[in-house]
Structure 1
């Protein structure tokens, strides 16, 4: 009976550790996305919008 109990404790601990590790990895990736990727995308969108606006103004100014 003791062997089964040890095995059960091992499996339970292994599953709990795996779940905890997976959660930590997910949290790290999510934090990286929120702090690095999304602000970079927002900045690129802002630059693109400014470029389009500048092109419209330039074309409008030279229609004479």
Structure 2
């Protein structure tokens, strides 16, 4: 019974760590590049609005 308990605890910890690793990898490969691209596009929008406003000044 002791070895079952140790195995169960080890298996649970291994499963949780594997899931955490997958979530971290997904965040690094999918979420962060999207956020970086959105930040770049937002900066371009701000720059375009400044140019648009300054072009119509007399």
The alignment's TM-score, normalised by the length of structure 1, stands at 0.87
Which runs of 5 or more structure 1 residues have no equivalent in the other structure?
1-6
Paired positions, count: 58
2:18 aligned with 1:28? no
Q: Deviation digits for residues 30-64 of structure 1, max 9, x if unmatched? A: 00001000110110111011000000011111102
For residues 1-64 of structure 1, the aligned pairs below 5 Å read 7-64=1-58
Instruction: Kindly report the root-mean-square deviation, in angstroms, between the aligned alpha carbons of the 2 structures.
Output: 0.5
Structure 1 stretches (4+) deviating beyond 3 angstroms?
Answer: none
SS at match of 2:11: helix
Structure exhibiting the larger radius of gyration computed from Cα positions? 1
The alignment's TM-score, normalised by the length of structure 2, stands at 0.96
